[in-house]
Chains A and B, each alone.
Chain A
Amino acid sequence: MGPSRQDPDARSRARETQRRLTRTSRAARAHLILTVVLGLATAALLLAQATLLAQVIAGAFLDGRSLASLTPLLVWLAAISVGRGLLDAGFEAGGRLGAAKVMAELRSRLVRTLLLVRPGTVREERSGELATAAVQGVDALEAYFARYLPQAVLAALVPLAVLAWTVPRDWEAAIVLAVTAPLIPVFMVLIGRLAERSTRRRWRRLARLGDRFLDLAGGLATLRANGRAEAQADSIAAAGESYRRETMKTLRIGFLSALVLELLAMIAVAIVAATVGIQLAEGALGLTAGLTVLILAPEMYMPLRRLGAQFHASADGMASAEAIFAVLDRPPAVAAPAVTRPAPRPDREPLVLEGLRFSHPGREEVLRGIDLRIEPGETVALVGPSGGGKSTLLSLLLRLADPGAGTIRCGGVDLCEVDPAAWRRHLAWVPQRPTVFAGTVADNVRLAAPDAATADVRAAVAAAGLAPVIAALPAGLETRVGEGGRRLSAGQAQRLALARAFLCGSPLLLFDEPTAHLDEETEREVAIAVRKLAAGRTALIVAHRPELATFADRVLRLEDGTITAPADALTPAMRERRSAPPPQRVVA
């Protein structure tokens, strides 16, 4: 049992997520109803089983009845046994079904949020984690729906049923049960509070200790290079030992609530047995009634005890649902326009940015007033230090986010009044790290133009400088790439994205450091392709390196959220380029 299961913060978070699941998911509500029905049936069978068993035993013992005369009752008992088995099977199967349905619902909402409501919201390194939560998280939800929830329902139903059954048979035992059962939650809450306060701080420290191993293993090459690996191996053993000692201290308190629960339950059963026994000896009670009460007494506490054990397992499972909710909770990236105007044409109208400001929630402002006018057909290079706001500016132009203040206009139309999807049809975007989707090379090139002819795909591939790479692939354009296929290098992926841009022929190009992470030779090839593509189109190129800036009409420097050095004097290379004939457009 790791620290996470006992961590009080995680526990209250898990509780909140559970509540939210039931509130927001239709499948979860349907499952809750099913569970209550199964719970009611279980409680009824429990009472029938105890009563019949008591009748059989009392009949054979006191009345001396034969096996033959008791056989009908025994057959009934056997049938009830099978029935209880089936109900438990129903809990489990229903729980698993519910978990699968709820997870499918969450997944569907997640996919829609990611693709339609808030694209570009998840950082690349977190995508694997999120996908795991949305697929494997179903196992964890099963622990909640198939095991925790049934116990929670039974914990509410069974004690009441048992009590109702006991009162007419033996009211003294009923009093014992009625007094002790509510004590259990009361004591657990009291002890839980006590333990929580004393352990909260300790758990936090323990979580750090646990992470330490992960940290050391992750940096092992660095440790070795610095001659510190052996020393850290000793420290792992020492830290583990202190971890254990601390954890055991905490567990001694943490397990107290279970101890009290068990103690109360057991003592209550013992008192019931003694009470029933004395009443029997005094002749105040019949054996059948007494036995029924005795058999039922432990059942009164059973769901409560199981509930405690299942809670931790199900709380662990909530982490995946939490991860998904965290994404669903983010507000939409782009507010839906009140009145939709037709998308302006960036190939005919200038793009005008005025007083553009933007800040990511809870962080310093990234853009602090950008004023910029880009004429149709102009190529503008944007340089500046990393973190200066270049990528953010692109995401505003891509309508992946709304500006905090200021406007982006194209031909006098505020882009906030245009359907983002319609505006994006005029754009081609080459991000810093393009995604290679699972499928063939041709599928990938066709991303923004699914119906393009093969000849056009070939032309786009050639224009992007990707032809030699494709020629070397076993199945050429039909070679499978991405997950489950061939891995493309960063440079190849960049050129693939360029080929996409060539193929879709959009008039406005947005490039985000298309040559970052490339070595020099590849960089040169990509730069040539970018230059070809930009010819005759409007282009905004975020450039990290000088190569890409040399053929721009204007070079702007974006630093600290403002454009600081507008239109530097032309570099010699630029002048040279200017005098050369313009490159031809490759794909119309």
Chain B
Amino acid sequence: MNAALRNAIAATRTRRRLLWLSVVLGAGAVLAAVGLLTTSGYLISRAAQRPEILTLAVAIVGVRFFGISRALLRYAERLVSHDLAFRTLTDLRARFFRRLIPLVPGGLPGLGRGELLGRFVGDVDSLQDLYLRGLAPPLVALLAGLVAVGVAFLILPAAALVLAVALLLGGVAVPLVARAAARSAGRRQAAARAELGAELVEIAAGSAELAVAGRGEDWVERAERSGRRLASLQRRDAFSGGLAAGALTAVTALAVVAVVAVSIPAVGSGALAGTMLAALALLTLASFEAVAPLGAAATSVDACAAAAERIEVVLDREPPLREPSAPRPAPDGPLAFEDVGFAYEPGAPPVLDSVDLVLRPGRAVALIGPSGAGKSTLAELAVRFRDPDRGTVSLGGVPLPRIGGEAVRAAVRLAPQDAYLFTTTLRENVALGRPGAGDEEIRAALEAVGLGPWLDSLPEGLATEVGEAGSRVSGGQRQRIAVARSFLARASFLVFDEPTAHLDPAGAADLQRRIAAFADNGAGVLIITHDRVALDAFDEVLELRGGRVERVGRGLPWIHGSARADDGGDGDRHGDPARRLGHGRPRRQRDVGGGVPADLRPQ
């Protein structure tokens, strides 16, 4: 048993009383069935001696008692074991989520994406099988088996010995064989399944390309070949699996034969009352119910062990950064990067080499750069999702590591790339930016990102459900909603990571203008983008290249911006003196043009 599985089992520690209750109820249910058959065997044998009917009354009552209690005990056991599984699962989910918080996005290289997180969630949920099918049944088997053997011992010690051996065979050997068969089949088939699976993914994803290239038949043939290879393995494994499944039936029936065989001489010698022969045979038959679920338990424990291990790998990771022991409140003042260097792994070439950047309240800064230049890393450093390897990121002169992470993120609000929408209403999704915000504020935030007309077109307004992970809104709407979230936040600084990735050029320009315009409210705005549109709306345009930040056009961003700003607007492209000198409020081309951008039209 591996350590991960032990830890998963230890999660029931706080629920020990429930676990025992479910074990006792389960064993009680098995024993009631044993009692029912044993008593009936005795009843019939005694009746065959033709006594007064009244002398049978006790046995008849016993039979009914066992019958009814069996059903009730089973019902209670199922309720208790499910209750236990749900409680433990809830604990486990909350614990897993808490451990996950400091790891996302910095601490799980390559694993931060939603889909992979979903896989872990599936693993956590699959552990309920452990509590439902893996943990209690062996204990039930042990308890019920011991009692059954004990009762048999009181009747005839030799028969008890035979029963004990048979139960061990059926409860230990057979499940082990079944598990071994399942394991080796799994190993043998794994490669063939993976290969076929990969081919099918290709076929499903690339079917149109294959058809256009005229290669459909070839790929059909290929998949059939892999399918045949897998099928021949499956044929072989079916027989070993079948034998493992039939073994318990054979062992049970043979155990009855063996018990009867050792009991017959005892009846002849008078050591065993003849009336108890049928009782012993039926007791044996019934007690195998205790071990019947163990084969399934063994395989489910295996599956759970694998899941537990995958979870453990995640939970064992060190959080990438430590919270300060005496956190300082976030001060006012600029957000500054000084000589910041960062590499994903020690020794790897740095993504950021020496970044210097200052973001002041009321200023709108655009940071452009090719993909892979480290723009998102820079955003994550700004909200202390990561710490730099070199240099400092500070807020109002205080390095971020001295401020509590939550306080940093309250002052510097990041709208991450591919912002996530939760499966709830539009209102809840925007209000994530500031819980408790009123409908009017939420409406205003949505209007500020250009979603006003769309909102008005929704029959349910703010109460509209956005669908599973935002599936009912378009990519462009999703990004605007994420921006609205930040607008609502009342943070001193707003950082947007690729807020226009899914917009067409006109939509991108519109949204970048709106984001730049938000700086007029006094917040410092940093937009990280690869879209070189509407850059004239920003006070400063920087470029991240080769791990360093360079000023583009040194305070004359519109020169560069206008080269691409073919998307409307007739703004000032001649250099405003006040702006060049850095005095006063620059006049920015931030008019958010009329008309509804394409991505805002009702879908």
Encoded as 1 (CB less than 8 Å from any B CB) or 0, chain A from 88 to 115 comes to: 1111111011001100100110111011
In the complex formed, the residue of A with least CB distance to B245 is A92
Q: Is the CB of B383 within 8 A of A225?
A: yes
B121 to chain A, nearest CB (A): 5
Task: Given A107-B223, A287-B44, A438-B198, verify A119-B216 contact (CB < 8 Å).
Answer: yes
As a 0/1 sequence over residues 514 to 554 of chain A, the CB contacts with chain B under 8 angstroms (1 = contact) are 00000111000000000000000000000011100000000
Chain A proximity of B419: nearest CB distance (Å):
6
Taking A219-B114, A274-B43, A427-B212 as known contacts, 20 extra A-B pairs with beta carbons closer than 8 A to each other, sorted by chain A number, are: A49-B253, A57-B260, A77-B253, A80-B253, A81-B250, A93-B239, A119-B212, A130-B200, A131-B200, A136-B197, A224-B385, A231-B435, A237-B94, A256-B75, A270-B60, A274-B60, A281-B52, A435-B205, A450-B215, A520-B532
Residues of A within 8 A of B64 (CB): 267, 270, 274
A53 cross-chain contacts in B, Cβ below 8 A: 256, 260, 281
- Closest B residue by C-beta to A78: B257
- The CA of A274 and the CA of B228, in the complex, are separated in Å by 57
**Residues A248 and B86 in contact in the complex (CB < 8 Å), given A84-B253, A546-B566:** yes
B290: min CB distance to chain A, Å: 15
Tell which of B90, B219, B406, B468 has the most Cβ of chain A within 10 Å: B90
Residue in chain B with minimal CB distance to A75: B257
User: Can you sample 24 A-B contacts with CB below 8 Å?
Assistant: A57-B278, A94-B238, A94-B242, A100-B234, A108-B227, A111-B200, A128-B201, A136-B193, A214-B121, A215-B423, A221-B105, A231-B435, A262-B74, A266-B71, A267-B64, A273-B43, A282-B50, A282-B53, A385-B507, A387-B599, A421-B216, A448-B213, A519-B372, A544-B505
A587 at the interface (CB under 8 A from B): no
Among A64-72, A152-160, A354-362, A470-478, the stretch in contact with B: A64-72
CB of A190 closer than 8 Å to a CB of B: no
Interface flag for A437 (CB, 8 Å): yes
Stretch at the interface among A17-25, A291-299, A578-586: A291-299
Query: Which of B46, B68, B267 contacts A60, CB < 8 Å?
Result: B267
A222 within 8 A of B: yes
Interface pair A291/B278, CB less than 8 Å apart? yes
Indicate if A458 sits at the interface (CB-CB under 8 A).
Answer: no
A224-B104 contact, Cβ under 8 Å, with A217-B118, A276-B44: yes
Interface size on B, residues (CB 8 A): 162
Q: Decide: A398 and B105 in contact? CB cutoff 8 A.
A: no
Beta-carbon contacts of A435-457 to B below 8 Å, as 1s and 0s? 10110000000011010000000
Cβ of A421 and Cβ of B214 under 8 Å apart? yes
Partner of A92, one of B117, B199, B242: B242
B residues 241-285 near A (Cβ < 8 Å) are 241-254, 256-257, 260-261, 263-265, 267-268, 274-275, 277-278, 281-282, 285
Interface: B576 (CB within 8 A): no
Among A175-183, A239-247, A406-414, A459-467, the stretch in contact with B: A239-247
* A134 CB-CB contact with B under 8 Å: yes
B583 close to chain A: CB less than 8 A: no
Kindly state whether residue B144 has any CB partner on chain A within 8 Å.
Answer: no
With A and B bound together, what is the CA distance between A352 and B210 in angstroms? 26
- A230 contacts B101, C-beta separation under 8 Å: yes
Contact (A447, B47) CB under 8 Å given A120-B207, A130-B200, A483-B201: no
A145–chain B nearest beta-carbon distance, Å: 10
- State whether A277 touches B44 (Cβ < 8 A): yes
Kindly state the separation between the CA atoms of A306 and B41 in the bound complex, as whole angstroms.
Answer: 24
In the bound complex, CA of A120 to CA of B53 (Å): 79
CA distance A258 to B72 in the complex (A): 10
Say whether chain A's binding surface is mostly helix, strand, loop, or mixed: helix
Selected from A111, A256, A270, the residue in CB contact (under 8 A) with B220 is A111
B242 touches A221 (CB 8 A): no
Separation of A418 and B224 alpha carbons in the complex (Å): 29
A511 to chain B minimum Cβ distance, whole angstroms, is: 13
Residue A169 interfacial (CB < 8 Å):
no
Is B403 interfacial (CB-CB < 8 Å)? no
- Which residue on A lies nearest to B115, using beta carbons? A218
Query: Within residues 116 to 160 of chain A, which ones have a CB less than 8 A from any CB in chain B?
Result: 116, 118-122, 124, 126-128, 130-132, 134-136, 138, 146
With the chains together, A269 CA to B468 CA distance in Å?
51
Q: Which residues of B contact A214 (CB under 8 A)?
A: 118, 121
Which residue of chain B has its CB nearest to the CB of A234? B94
Q: Return the CB mask of B537-578 against A: 1 if under 8 Å, else 0.
A: 000000000000000000000000000001000000000000
- B211 close to A120 (CB less than 8 A): yes
Contact between B43 and A220 (Cβ–Cβ < 8 Å)? no
For the complex, give the distance between the alpha carbons of A78 and B251 in Å.
10
- Give Cα distance in the complex from A544 to B506, angstroms: 11
The reply on B348 being an interface residue by CB < 8 A is no
B343 to chain A, nearest CB (A): 20
Write out the residue numbers on chain B whose beta carbons fall within 8 Å of the beta carbon of A128.
201
Give complex CA distance A2, B413 in Å.
Answer: 38
Pair B121/A213 contact, Cβ less than 8 Å: yes
Compute how far the CA of A283 lies from the CA of B37 in the bound complex, rounded to whole angstroms: 22
What are the 10 A-B residue pairs with the smallest beta carbon separation, nearest first? A85-B250, A93-B242, A89-B246, A240-B90, A385-B598, A120-B208, A81-B253, A435-B206, A219-B420, A127-B204
Does the CB pair B242–A115 fall under 8 Å?
no
Complex Cα gap A273–B101 (Å): 62
| Minimum distance in angstroms from A386 CB to a CB of chain B | 5
Q: A240-B89, A281-B56 known; A262 and B71 CB under 8 Å?
A: yes
B193/A107 in contact, CB under 8 A: no
Q: With A93-B242, A214-B121, A287-B45 in contact, is A244–B83 under 8 Å at CB?
A: yes
Q: Which chain A residue lies CB-closest to B116?
A: A218
Kindly supply a per-residue 1/0 record for chain B positions 26-55, scoring 1 wherever the CB is within 8 Å of any chain A CB and 0 otherwise: 000000010011011101111110111100
A69-B53 Cα distance, complex, nearest whole Å: 33
Cα–Cα distance between A126 and B200 once the two chains are bound (Å): 11
With a cutoff of 8 Å between Cβ atoms, the chain B residues found around residue A100 in the complex are 230-231, 234-235, 238
Contact in complex: B207, A114 (CB < 8 Å): yes
Contact A280 B44 (CB under 8 A): yes
C-alpha spacing A278/B59, complex, angstroms: 11
Bound-state CA distance A587–B115 (Å) is 42
The answer to whether A400 and B200 touch across the interface, beta carbons within 8 angstroms, is: no
Would you call B427 an interface residue if the criterion is a C-beta within 8 Å of the partner chain's C-beta atoms?
no
A56 contact from B46, B260, B468, B599, Cβ within 8 A: B260
Taking a contact as CB atoms under 8 Å apart, the answer to whether A435 and B216 are in contact is no
Which chain A residues lie closer than 8 Å to B263 at the CB level?
60
> Are the CB atoms of B220 and A64 closer together than 8 Å?
no
B59→A277 contact, CB < 8 A: yes
Bound-state CA distance A138–B238 (Å) is 12
Which listed residue, B43, B285, B504, touches A277 by the CB 8 Å rule?
Answer: B43
* A37 in the interface (beta carbon within 8 A): no
Q: Is B200 in contact with A134, judged by CB distance below 8 angstroms?
A: yes
CB pair A266 B67 closer than 8 Å: yes
- The CA-CA distance from A290 to B213 in the complex, in Å, is 75
- Interchain CB contact under 8 A, B243 and A233: no
- Is A30's CB within 8 Å of the partner chain B? no
Q: A67-B264, A74-B257, A385-B504 are contacts. A434–B74 as well, Cβ < 8 Å? A: no
Complex contacts, A247 vs chain B, CB 8 Å: 82, 86
Chain A residues in 8 Å Cβ range of B132 = 1
Please, what's the 1-or-0 string for B83-112, where 1 marks a CB less than 8 Å from any CB in chain A? Answer: 100110111011001101100110000001
Q: Give the shortest distance, in Å, between A335 (CB) and chain B (any CB).
A: 16
> How far apart sit A100 and B231, CA to CA, in the bound complex (Å)?
6
B249 touching A280, Cβ below 8 Å: no
CA A229 to CA B43, docked complex, whole Å: 65
**B389 contacts the other chain (Cβ, under 8 Å)?**
no
How many Å from the CB of A435 to the closest CB on chain B?
3
Residue among A115, A223, A420, A521 making CB contact with B203, cutoff 8 Å: A115
- Contact (Cβ within 8 A) B201 A218: no
Asked whether A216 is an interface residue with its Cβ less than 8 Å from the other chain, the reply is yes
Given contacts A115-B219, A221-B105, A435-B205, contact A135 B193 (CB under 8 A): yes
Q: A58 vs B231: C-alpha distance in the bound complex, in angstroms?
A: 50
The residue among B63, B196, B530 with the most chain A CB atoms within 10 A of its own CB is B63
A304 within 8 A of B: no
